Structure 1
Amino acid sequence: MKTPFDLRLLTTFAAVAEHQSFSRAAKALGVAKGTVSRTITQLEAELGIELVHRTTHHVALSTAGAALYERTRGHLSALQTSVSNLPELEDEPSGLLRIAAAPEFGVLVLPAIISAFSQRFPNVRFDIRLSTDNADLVREGYDLAIRVATGSLKDSALKMRRIARGTTAFYAAPAYIARQGRPKRLLEKRHSWVLHAGIVQLLKLDADGVQYCVDDFFLARDLMREGVGVGLLPTFMARSDLKEGLLEEVSLQEPHVLFGDLVVLYPSSGQTPKKVTAFRDFLVETLKSGTVL
């Protein structure tokens, strides 16, 4: 016997069994009466048994039809309930939102954003992974990533939305400035420099002139706080240190290095889930107001 895998056949059969009428089943399903009749005929042909006894004014289930209805109606109802209760079919965003983000942004900026977002959309849960590696969103199952982009998007499997302009500035501890003064140019020899390895590569700097080359902005900031040298940081990382007097901004003759655009990336295939669009739009709204960045 050939097993039917098309749930549409069983759904139509269940409607006929429930209403005992092709016409009433068609009305309940929102299709033509002829479509219902042909669907039942197709199901009978696939099973090789008669499911419905047809008369001019009435239809009745055969013994096999009654048994099939009894065995499948509970499963069909459970399937319909499961589908209708999917989080993304609800009016409000809900479900698990998996996010990948850079550690600096994740530690210093995301907590305030997520706190405010959760007050507005309490049914969204979070799984957040912080890493300097660019996660493969599709392969690793992330809903979105927050990254710094310096160019156009090359991955056609992703959509990108720019949410803020990232900037950097040079900083040093007051103790360092009191001891060494303020440099006027980048890599000025009588000064010690604390730079992220990515910045050294981006600016094609002479690595011999960089006393402290690190691959983590938090470490760079901590070294600057200790007064070991002048360094470059994303401005959002130094904001609280400036207020507390732990760091001072140092103006150089060279223009500030742009940190790139802060972007949110998410898979381009299919319809974007409500939880993703809600969080994306909330990021844009919050960062535009300048409350956390």
Structure 2
Amino acid sequence: MRSRIDLNVLRVFVTVAEKGSFVGGARALNIPASNVSRQISQLEERLGMRLIQRSTRQMKLTEAGQMFFDSMRPLLDSVNETEARLSHAQTEPEGLLRVCLPNGVGPVIFGNLLADFALRYPRIELHCTTSLQGAEALWDDCDVVIDISRGTRASSDVIARPLASLPCHIVAAPTLLQKYARPTHTEQLLALPCITTVSALQGQAWQFITTGKGFRHINVLSPFRVDSGEMAMQAALKGIGFAILSAQACEPYIRNGQLEVIELELAPAPLEIALLYQERSFLPARSRAFIDFLQEAVRNQREK
């Protein structure tokens, strides 16, 4: 069985044939003429036929050489065109970009930023969906996922780029505090009704920061489980149970007295927002542009 022909050797042959000389081919390829001559000889030896008739005055393609050239030039043109298109795709933000946002809070926090991104990159076709799947959405035709987690992030094969950290409060409605004594320690939560999640945040919404920067999990009672921060908020306002909510979301209700902050010996773990994606070495330009845009936008908002 004959060995495979190196694509670079084919480029050398086609370039020499186009330039009409070994010297011209070497100059076009920016390699020594001796290398060109050696590679052509190796190609002829591999094929078992003479491709170029050499003389002291000129070189000329043999009949086999002309046939080989006519077959190889379209192939190399196609390869060169494909390489150029791939290179262009890596540097020019364009094409389809599929983004997944978390339900509820995702559109509220990122809706305007996604619209700004679309205006800045009109050649990118942006498809946005909402889901609480997190990293799982990457395996379901999504390129980048905006994910929210709390405490220890579940191990995953995907890449996570931190985007923002949202502080949280433990809150309760005054009507609930009329029924139950105000807790001062995390262990007391075990005997109190709490609002938790069904599957979001891996079902471990009640995590607290320890002194060693670790996290403590509290398996609270959950008579009311939701997959929406807004539903948790409404349930907390009705006095259904204690809730752990982002400080930003519940601040208006704390100010008007509808919710009260519960101070415990440990602070609740913040919500961590991250950008998840699968590739690093060959990340498409459109994905890279989206990640860089969001990180810059969030950083600018923090600095204001």
Amino acid at match of 1:167: P
Q: Is structure 2 residue 232 aligned with structure 1 residue 220?
A: yes
Q: Is the 8 A contact 1:87 1:95 kept in 2?
A: no
178-187 vs 121-130, which deviates more?
Answer: 178-187
Q: Is the 8 A contact 1:166 1:258 kept in 2?
A: no
Q: Specify the SS of the correspondent of 2:56.
A: coil
With structure 2 as the length reference, what TM-score do the two structures score?
0.73
CA deviations 1:114-164 (Å, max 9, x no partner) are: 211121122223354544334368866754433236347955x55443221
Q: 1:1-293 counterparts in 2 under 5 A? A: 2=2, 4-86=4-86, 88-89=88-89, 91-128=91-128, 130-135=130-135, 143-147=143-147, 148=149, 150-151=151-152, 158-170=158-170, 177=174, 184-185=182-183, 193-196=194-197, 197-200=203-206, 203-207=217-221, 210-224=222-236, 228-235=240-247, 242=252, 248-254=258-264, 257-267=268-278, 269-290=280-301
The 1:93–1:105 alpha-carbon spacing in structure 2 relative to 1, beyond 3 Å, is: farther
| Separation in structure 2 between the aligned mates of residue 224 and residue 184 of structure 1, nearest angstrom | 15
Q: Is the 8 A contact 2:237 2:258 kept in 1?
A: no
Q: Specify the SS of the correspondent of 1:265.
A: strand
- Following superposition, the deviation at residue 258 of structure 1 comes to 2.7
| Separation in structure 1 between the aligned mates of residue 178 and residue 234 of structure 2, nearest angstrom | 19
Task: Flag structure 1 segments of 5+ consecutive residues without an equivalent.
Answer: none
186-195 vs 162-171, which deviates more?
Answer: 186-195
The 1:15–1:189 alpha-carbon spacing in structure 2 relative to 1, beyond 3 Å, is: closer
Residues matched between the structures, number: 282
| Separation in structure 1 between the aligned mates of residue 271 and residue 164 of structure 2, nearest angstrom | 9
Q: Is the 8 A contact 2:171 2:242 kept in 1?
A: yes
Q: Specify the SS of the correspondent of 2:122.
A: coil
| Separation in structure 1 between the aligned mates of residue 44 and residue 257 of structure 2, nearest angstrom | 79
With structure 1 as the length reference, what TM-score do the two structures score?
0.75
| Separation in structure 1 between the aligned mates of residue 292 and residue 101 of structure 2, nearest angstrom | 17
Task: Flag structure 2 segments of 5+ consecutive residues without an equivalent.
Answer: 198-202, 208-215
